[in-house]
A and B are shown apart, each in its own frame.
Chain A
Amino acid sequence: MHQFPRSPPATASPAQSSRTNPTRTNNPREPGSPARAISSGTNTPVLSDEPTFSAAHSTTAEEKDVIQRLNKTIQNLFYKAALLILQDRLELPPAYTQKTNQPRVNKWFSLDVPESDVLLPDVRVWRNFDVSVASQPPIMIVDLRISSKDLKDNQTLVVTDEFGKTRYVEDAVKSYYESLGQDFKPGFDIVVERWQFDLDGFTSQFPKNLVSILPKTYKNAVVLFRALFSMLHLLPAWSLSRKSDIGAKSRSLPKLSYRIYEKSQRSLEPGLDGLHIPLPDSDNQELEDYIFETLDTPAGKFKIKVSYRKNCDFQLQTSEATISSRIDESDLFKPSLRRQSNEFEPLLQDLMPPPRRSSRQILQDADQAQQAYGSLSTYHLAGRPIASSPLSTLRAVGAARELNTASPRDSPPSKLLPEHRNVQDSHETPRSEAMPRNIRRTSVTFSPFKSPSLSASPSHLSGEHLPVPQVVPVVGNRSSALTALAEARNPGFNPHTSNFSSTVPTSSTTPLSASPRPTSRHSASYAHRRSQNSLNLGRDDDLGGSSRTSPRPGTAEGNASSGSLNADDDNISEFLKMLDNKKELKSFRSPSESGLAESSARRTSAALSRYSRLRDSNAILSDSVSSSVLGHRSSTSSSRQLSSVPAMVGGASLSTASSPGERMSPRTPHTPAIPSRLSANSIVDHNAHRERNVGMTIPGNEASEGRAESVQSPGIGAIDIPSSPRVYQTTYRRPSSVAQQRLMRFGDDDLGDIAPFENRSTSLGGNREREPLSLSRMLASQDEANAGLIAGPTNQAIESAPMSRQRSTSSQDESGYNIGSSSRGAYRARVASRGHLGRHGSSTSLAGERGSASGGSDSRGGRYSFQRSRDNEDEELLFAMSDFGVAQQGRRSLEEAGRGNNTQT
């Protein structure tokens, strides 16, 4: 009784209930009761105070007929709506009449729509709905979606936002899932429109005048469906329909698919619904709803609601276009990084085995690292393509930088990149996917190359996380730099990064001796260095503004160093062991080398003195630099530690080590002032410092060699006055960003582009020291330096300087290692040899050399002397590396030696 609150039928209701119960398993009363309660509250106008009858108890044929008509109407409200939408959005296969074989047309609601049988299974629930039996029909959901399953292998879905910025959908989905802490599985299912059809306030109690009500319902339904049809073409998703003349002809449209289901069937996790996944990187609300006018029917209120994406500017890109774009933008760098990350672990494990990593690989790594940075930089810039960004940054930096950076990049990348890509891509993609965001972020920060703009963040990142290489892999994953960045940020990388940081310092040392060790570490270190080198390019500028730039580097270094100090210590201890083992070797070799070193040291000292004289004009700057250096030393624990580390290695090494550390520190404090190069340098410095420290410790030999080299180089440089200071400067910078510079040099040597790099470094260094630090000045100085360097002498000078250095070192190390390969090969060889030699023999010979070098620097005096000595040391390290490198080194060393001698004499 209570179920049928209305009085007139009340008498009948009990009877009805009694009837229904026995005859129907689905007692309409129970399910119907709540609906009735609702309907009683919302009473449709038709029902008010009208005599009613229950659909389940229709006795007369007329009532049954009316009920049947009502059923058909309700059924078709659902079905026709779905049919109309899907026929408008999709190409549904037509249905044919059995007899005439003519396409069947659904004429319900005065709208002729071709029938299609493909929908029938999906809409069975609503097409079989019976008001007399069923309770409220389930809410029907029709999703129009773009699924990755519908994309071909060579297709990629992109979405263009209101600003014309294109974004890869899968990347957006991935980042979104990561933001929610959800595991991302490749693929996506983007819902562009969600239609919801509901018969609200369902009732099976109908007025007696139902027959007269139905026409009005039908008439209103006609209007509703006309409005539905009109709206279909005003919604954004219409542009995705191939029937649309607007969007289909201008772009490659993704295939739309549909899904019809009951709302209760799917309990989508909030946020993971394909409709709510944010795609464009904009704060604008992406979804909107449109609610159609409610249609009153005798059985309830029929409601249509559509939630749609405002931006449906989807289109397909072929893999070729995608690959090219991505490669151009970001991929280039990713592969190398990934590779490094992949290689890293094994390398770390196998420190001892001098890698077979060919110098090439190392170079490649370095290149990759640079690229990675570039990618990072790109990320920072646009959040998109990596490649583009680095380029842009380079351009922004200045012609000089461009020359420097371009040469390293161009030369190595062109050769290396492709290979790296292939290898790395395979490796990287998985990682990238697996990589947590944190790592990605870190990687992003790394991008130090862009340092100028990004300077602050990148420096920190770089300092902390060598992970950059890892980041690179991430970038390699695919898509936009953003994803790469995100991946880089992934925490998963952090361990690596930490390792790298720890390893990096070692690697920094390793670079000299690195090759022997763990190619992985070395590679990583190289990578870092190279990345740093790229930074160094910037740094070169920074060098001039070292005081300015120093602040950043100091901070970054401090961070990075602090984080990696422990690991560094471990690594250092390992290195020490290595060195001890190798000392013997060096000792054997050392004698000759030591002699060379001494001679080189003398030369260097002479050169340094010359430079100091030259720089007297810049005394003020030097003062500032010295102060900054002192501050750094005190401030930056890492630098100190590093210096201390070298001390552990050997006294000689210590002096050199200390100098580099000091250099590092000064740079760090000043770095912040200069955004671009300085920042980059600073970043580099961080890594470099570690590396330097390590390198200093390990390569003490190298350092000593480096000094010797520097001496020689100065001698060489002495010939070319401008170039020589530059060389020193480069060395200076190198100390901070020694690794990078080294990398650059290596790359240069390998590529034969050494000259530009050195020029850059030298020019930068000179400029830096002299000039106070404005970016413009830096750039200008760089440009000038580059111009001069590039002009002609630079190459020679550069080559000569490095060559001399290398030669000197090579003379030492090479004695054992000289392979006699081309310059490139020499560098590679150097790397490898460095790994071996640098670590082993360097300790002894280097110590002696360092001592000499230090003495020379001291005699020169001053801060500059220290810095220079350090720079020289850094360069020495690089040179040592080069020295290890065979042929070129040998040749060059001979030549340089000659030159150096000449100069000295």
Chain B
Amino acid sequence: MDTRFSPMTTTTVSPHPEYSIAVFSDPSTLNAILKAVLHTIFFHRYFTNVRPSTQNILHLTLPYVEAPELNQLIDTRIHQLNRQLNSTSGPGTSIRGGIGVQFFERKRRLSTAETTMMNLFGIRPGDGATEDVCWETWRVEVTLAIPRTQEEQKKVTKAMETSLKRTVMKIIATANANTDHIPPIHTQEINPFPYQIILNPKNGNGM
């Protein structure tokens, strides 16, 4: 009777979906493009109630998540990536870099004693008893083009527009098509899933 639909179980070790997104940009537009891509990703994984808003970039209108903390984190990471790319870039070269976005499910990892304490005395375990388990990773692979002439700049700009739209469409389709692994949501008041934005994620789930 009470057979419950068992939501997708998350284990700390189990592999999780990882999606790769390609971004093509020139240095001057990189910040805006990365911001747009990251916001698009978060918009589809940020389960808090939001008042949908948008941002315009390269003739595209893309979703924007109005969350100060998130915005700050995104800006910080983009700035860091820019510095990294600038340090290795040169005219006429194309540089690669990456940003990873990870979503976690916060679980309480209870020891037997803690479980007993909770059951018997209602004592909540401390913070150390929680565990964040990554359930999804997005890898944003950045290709930075540095045009030397105006003609190249035009080509790059056009390629950026095309690439950005393709990327966004891919994010939307991927995020919408892969939902079974999303942990159950227990609250709408706060963001149920912690997240991380890291530079140059490693291949594989280990980031």
Contact = CB atoms under 8 A, between A and B. Distances in A.
Contacts of B16: none
Interface stretch (B23-31, B55-63, B76-84, B154-162): B55-63
Interface string B1-34: 1111101000000000000000000000000000
Interface string A273-292: 00000000000000000001
A246 interface: yes
Contact of A219 (B1, B47, B176): B47
A578 to B, nearest CB: 70
16 contacts: A110-B48, A112-B52, A208-B1, A209-B3, A212-B5, A212-B7, A215-B185, A216-B7, A219-B47, A223-B176, A231-B172, A233-B54, A233-B61, A234-B169, A244-B61, A293-B179
B188 interface: yes
Given A112-B50, A112-B51, A223-B45, 9 more contacts: A111-B49, A209-B4, A216-B7, A216-B184, A226-B176, A229-B63, A233-B63, A246-B61, A293-B176
Interface of B: 1-5, 7, 40, 43-45, 47-52, 54, 56, 59-63, 165, 168-169, 172-173, 175-177, 179, 182, 184-185, 188
A152 interface: no
A219 B185 contact: yes
B49 A110 contact: yes
A215 B3 contact: no
Given A110-B49, A222-B47, A213 B184 contact: no
Contacts, number: 98
Contacts of A220: 179, 182
Given A219-B185, A233-B61, A226 B43 contact: yes
B182 A230 contact: no
Contacts of A230: 40, 43-44, 62-63, 168, 172
Given A216-B5, A222-B47, A230-B43, A238 B61 contact: yes
Contacts of A50: 3
A51 B3 contact: yes
Contacts of A51: 1, 3
Among B5, B54, B188, residue most surrounded by chain A Cβ atoms (within 10 Å): B5
A51 B2 CA distance: 9
Interface string A27-68: 000000000000000000010001100000000000000000
- Nearest first, the 9 A-B pairs at minimum CB distance are A233-B61, A227-B176, A112-B51, A212-B5, A293-B176, A212-B4, A220-B179, A209-B5, A213-B5
Contacts of B56: 245-246
A226 B168 CA distance: 13
B181 to A, nearest CB: 11
A223 B61 contact: no
Contact of B47 (A110, A224, A229, A231): A110
Nearest to A222: B47
Given A215-B184, A230-B62, A113 B49 contact: no
Interface string A233-248: 1100010000011100
A185 interface: no
Nearest to A109: B49
B63 A226 contact: yes
B184 A107 contact: no
A287 to B, nearest CB: 18
Contacts of A231: 172
A51 B4 CA distance: 11
B187 to A, nearest CB: 11
A213 B4 CA distance: 8
A234 B60 contact: yes
Nearest to A229: B52
